[in-house]
Chain A
């Protein structure tokens, strides 16, 4: 029997027994729904991490010089104790690195602390206040939506000006123009000169609740003790140049700190790659748990389909006898039932794909998790469905194929 015909026959069969088919689809349906939804979310996070986080949040071709890594996982307590004893990074370190690098780079330094921001009666708590040099915006890829960022001159002059994040601006000023307004942070007034374009959120945490003032401005009083900085940000023009700049920075810092060759670095050079590595691990854990979940429901789905197919074979014993009497070979009967169970499972998979996509979109729009449907997961869903269907159909189909035509036709 031609293949198209077999599928048509199978679909007609499924349609004529909707209830039973619906029931038998559940396992495959759930498995594939899971697959699509989880993969979509992981994929969405991936996109987010590589495109937005690595690019914008961290900066392209950028590395940070810090006391210890800002992004790290599973750090043993012992390591932590060592890290905390390290000397801090100073403005002098930043200047020395900037002066010593032969690679063309852009350098900035920053110190950050959390503080409450006030504007007339309005209060915004837990806002990240950063004191930085003027190049900070360029390195972070912060586009200024309104107004401007501060200048080198303003940094030198310690001007009390400030650039605010999108959400902070909204909280303090609603729809009013933020530019020129004076906000208060820890008893000092700052004039708002710019608003940074919205950065969105990460795991539900807004990336727009911040303000950046010149490092020399009064913010320095609470972000860090005098002369110390959280990080030096160094941006090169390309990855090789960044690597070279990192080597040079390492050498400069080691010599400034008089480290002997056998001593480890007592500072950290961090790139977005390092963070993406951490993400990659989380990613792999999520994806590693997925096959378990999916295969449990697929196995259950397969068993259900097998039972349904055994019932179908029993019910249609007479039909099988008739077909054999008319010249159907074993493989014809085998194929008929395999196509039927594969069709059953693929239909389940297709419904699962539709539901999974819908679920992913619902999650993306109602929770902070991003989602992006991966085309490969749809293909895998269909193939898994078909595979489960064929595997589950093998035994019932071979039973059908081996039926004796005379006995089968006598069957009621």
Chain B
């Protein structure tokens, strides 16, 4: 089964040093994820969910422990190699969307392709295709300020998907959205999962977690529980 393992994390720790104090955000997390899993990560505030997602998304490096992504150990990679992994292997969706405010939806979605060295024509084709996948084909030339919160998050999802990443990471993607829009976004995730996408979603809301096939709960920087559940 190892060949279908996308993520293997062992003894992962992440400590922050604040003056003389050491904050241990992750204290030895073990986790494995297979292809096309749909995992919700839950846990109280400060339990280390975002810290874990940042490490999984190669935005942050662990203090200790191993992290293997698609069979490659990324916990020992240098900055440039990590940038490449972020670009090719990972799609990250943030609570605050993190779109470039001055750029159009299309340009925002093109960004990962630009850093991936894709030619202009191909970039445009793939970015518009990704926007179409999230139902925004007629909003391509709008700036974030001209879009609703739900639409912005869909642009961010299109951007996360445009490089066909092995894993889609979302840290409270509906945290800034009302419940109707949240439901729309979660429907998009479910649809993507149906198409074979591997997904990890951090959420505080039980009804959102209920849509995932597996729920991992963190507490004080450790995995507290890890349960499979039937599709909602």
Contacts and interface: CB of A to CB of B under 8 A. Distances in A.
Contact of B84 (A5, A12, A327, A405): A327
A405 B90 CA distance: 14
Q: In terms of DSSP, what is the predominant structure of the interface of chain A?
A: helix
Interface string A314-357: 00001101111111111110000000000000000000000000
B116 A327 contact: yes
B141 to A, nearest CB: 15
Interface residues of A, number: 23
Contacts of B99: 322
Q: Which of B80, B86, B116 has the most CB of A within 10 A?
A: B86
A397 to B, nearest CB: 15
Interface in B74-123: 79-80, 83-84, 86-88, 92, 94, 98-100, 102, 111-112, 114-116, 120
Contact of A328 (B88, B92, B115, B163): B115
Given A16-B102, A319-B100, A409-B98, A325 B92 contact: yes
A406 to B, nearest CB: 5
A271 B116 CA distance: 69
A327 B159 CA distance: 12
Contacts of A2: 114, 120
20 contacts: A1-B115, A2-B114, A2-B120, A16-B102, A318-B98, A319-B100, A321-B98, A322-B99, A323-B115, A325-B57, A326-B111, A326-B159, A327-B87, A327-B163, A328-B83, A329-B79, A330-B79, A330-B80, A330-B83, A331-B80
Contact of B115 (A12, A16, A326): A326
A405 B59 contact: yes
Interface string A381-412: 00000000000000000000000111001000
B111 A323 contact: yes
Q: Which of B84, B92, B159 has the most CB of A within 10 A?
A: B92
A12 B107 CA distance: 14
Given A327-B115, A404-B60, 11 more contacts: A324-B83, A325-B57, A325-B92, A326-B115, A327-B86, A327-B112, A327-B163, A329-B80, A332-B115, A405-B59, A406-B60
Given A5-B114, A325-B98, A406 B54 contact: yes
B122 to A, nearest CB: 13
A326 B87 contact: yes
A332 B86 CA distance: 14
A318 B99 CA distance: 10
A207 B112 CA distance: 70
